[in-house]
Structure formats: C-alpha cells, structure tokens
Amino acid sequence: MGVIIFLLLVLLIAGIIVANIKIVPQAHAFVIERLGTYATTWGTGLHVKVPFVDRIARKVTMKEQIIDFPPQPVITKDNVTMQIDTVVYYQITDPKMYTYGVEQPIVALENLETTTLRNIIGDLELDKTLTSRDVINSQIRKTLDEATDEWGIRVNRVELKNIVPPAEIQESMEKQMKAERERRALVLSAEGQKQSAILVAEGEKQSTILRADAQKEAKIREAQGEAEAITLVQKAKADSIKLLNQSSPSNAVIQLQSLEAFKKAADGKATKIIIPSQIQGLAGLAEGIKETVTR
C-alpha cells in the first residue's frame, strides 16, 4: 500500500514538473508573474516555471502585425464628409510595456488612429486630401509611433486603404475627369494638326529650295557650255590665223580671203557694198578663170 502511494506521489510530482516546462517558440515572448508581480520575460527556448508561484501573464508575438481598421467618417476643412479606412503595420518591441502599459492596447491604438486621422483631415480640403496620401500616412505614423512608445509598440507604417467621398462628389469628379480627358484629346489633335502643317510647310520649303538649286545649276552649266563653245571657236580662229601666218600666204590668197569675207557680209542682208579696187580686179580674174574652166 505504501509503495503504491509513493509511486502516485512520484507520478504526481513528475506530472507537475512536466506541466511547468514551457517552450517559447521563435519570435515570441512570455511575460511571467510571480505571486502577482512581474518577474521576468522569457525569450525563445526551454523554460521551467515554479509551480503554484509563477504564471504566464501574457504570450506576445514579436512579429510585425497588421490591423485593418473599418471605414470611419471624417470631415474635411471644406465640410465634405467622407469614409476612410486605414491599415496599420505595427510590431511589439517591449512585452512588459505591452502587457502593463495600457489596457487593451489594440483598442487604444485604434482609437488613437481614429482621432489622429480626423485631426489631420480636418485641416485639409477635399482636393488636397485626395492628392496627399503620402503626407497623411507619414503624419499618422509619426503621431502613433510617438504615442505608442510607452505601450511597447512601434508603428512601422500606415496606409490609407480607401477614400470614399459622397456620391454627388464622385459624380462631379467623374464629370470633371471626363471634361479634362476631352480637353486633352482636343489639345493633342490640335498639336497633331499643327505638326502636320509644319511638316507640309517644311516639305514645300525644301522642294522650292531644291527646284531653285536645280535651275541655278542648269543655268550655270548652260553658261559654262556657252563659254566653252566660244573659247573653242576663238581658239580655232586663233589656230587658223597662226597657221596662215606660218604658211606666208601671197597677196592673191589674202585678197581671195577678203573676197570671201565680203561675200559672207553681203549674204542678201546688204543692199550696197563698196568693194576696194584691188578686190574688184581680183574678182574679174577669178571670173575669167571660172569661164575658162567651164569651157
């Protein structure tokens, strides 16, 4: 009987010891209280707590976490009510402060985010709100991060998920966007026509220049041809005179050449020609020779 009781006590003690052996997973922490007072924070690994004295006050994850807050109404500076929902990325940096710093830290973070968002949007007009997401995100993150340091929370990032203005505002914005798109289309069309006209004018200009250059080149070539022809004629005349001088022609040959020149000068274009007496005699001699040959 005594052996059975001893075995039961051993089993009971072993069960109690095993029940008080705890393993803390990676990226987690356990906050331990001893007799109702904070004792320590367990990190990753194997731990044993004192039975009936220690207790795990809170199990905390050290990973980055995300809270998607539901849409909430906010009023802009120009009295436009819209719905905005946000996403907050946060991480617990101090498990002790997270456990004892504030009651229900996530609820406190949500309320703080709501009031901060309303304060920031209240200083902005509608158009500025729609185009200043990055500025709003930065301001909210900075305010939340400073306020949650005492809660052991670090706010890494805040994003405005959706900004939903009233239906009439949306309709007006759609009309404005449509008008803007039509205006841009007209501007692009006008620019296209302008460029087309410029290209046509440039083409005509280039064509005119090319035609003028071609006519100029043709006239230059024609003048060069005439100049070369005149040069060749003059050169031929000079050569003939040179040959004539070199051959020492007699007076009779010179007079015959003169007669030929007068003949060309007359050529039906002169009504009266005065011929020198020596050429007249030469002409009679030439006529006599011609008659003798014909007989």
Q: How far apart are CA 235 and CA 228, in angstroms?
A: 10
pLDDT at res. 292: 43
State mean pLDDT over 36-41: 92
More confident residue, 202 or 277: 202
* Res. 295: pLDDT tops 70: no
For the cut 60, the answer to whether the pLDDT of residue 291 exceeds it is: no
Residue with tokens 């069960």: 15
61 and 31 Cβ atoms separated by less than 8 Å? no
Q: Identify the pLDDT of residue 207.
A: 85
Q: Which pLDDT belongs to residue 201?
A: 87
Q: For all residues of the chain together, what is the average pLDDT?
A: 81
- Alpha-carbon distance of 58 to 210, in angstroms, equals 91
Please give the CATH superfamily to which domain 64-165 belongs: Band 7 domain (3.30.479.30)
Mean local confidence (pLDDT), 173-184: 79
Render pLDDT for 117-170 as a digit per residue (tens, 0 to 9).
999 999 988 888 888 889 999 999 999 999 898 899 999 999 998 888 888 877
Strand runs labelled E in the chain: 21-24, 28-34, 37-42, 45-48, 54-61, 64-68, 72-75, 81-92, 153-164
SS3 190: helix
Q: Is the pLDDT of residue 52 over 50?
A: yes
Average pLDDT over residues 80-95: 92
Residue 284 pLDDT exceeds 90 = no
Residues 30 and 38 sit within 8 Å (Cβ to Cβ):
no
Of the candidates 87, 22, 90, the residue with the CA atom closest to the CA atom of residue 62: 90
pTM: 0.57
Mean pLDDT of 3-8: 80
What's the CA gap between 51 and 19, in Å, rounded? 9
The CA distance from 55 to 211, in Å, is 103
Residues 96-128 as b/e (b if ≥16 CB within 10 A, e otherwise) read bbbbebbeebeebbbebbeebbeebbeebebee
How high is the pLDDT of residue 24? 93
pLDDT for position 17: 82
Whether 253 has a pLDDT exceeding 70, the answer reads no
Structure letter (DSSP) for residue 274: P
Q: What is the pLDDT of residues 228-250, one digit of tens each?
A: 888 887 787 777 667 666 665 55
* pLDDT for residue 55 is more than 80: yes
Between CA 255 and CA 175 the distance in angstroms is 108
Q: What angle do CA 145, 62, 108 make, to 5 degrees?
A: 40
pLDDT of residue 251: 58
The full length of the chain comes to 295
Structure tokens at 249: 């022609």
How many percent of the chain have pLDDT more than 90? Answer: 29
pLDDT of residue 94: 93
Does the pLDDT at position 61 exceed 90? yes
Beta bridge partners of residue 54, listed in sequence order: 34
Exposed/middle/buried for residue 141 (C-beta within 10 Å: 0-12, 13-18, 19+): buried
At residue 32 the predicted structure's pLDDT band, cuts being 50, 70 and 90, is very high
- Amino acid (one-letter) located at 208: T
Asked if the model's pLDDT at residue 279 lies above 70, the reply is no
Within the chain, what is the greatest distance between any pair of CA atoms?
Answer: 191
For residue 89, the tally of other CB atoms under 10 A from its CB is 15
* 139, 128 Cβ separation under 8 angstroms: no
Contact 84, 160 (CB under 8 A): yes
Provide the pLDDT confidence category of residue 294 given band limits of 50, 70 and 90.
very low
**Res. 278 pLDDT band, cuts 50 70 90:** low
Going by their DSSP bridges, the two strands 45-48 and 21-24 should be labelled as: antiparallel
The pLDDT assigned to 155 comes to: 93
Per-residue pLDDT, 154? 93
pLDDT for residue 46: 92
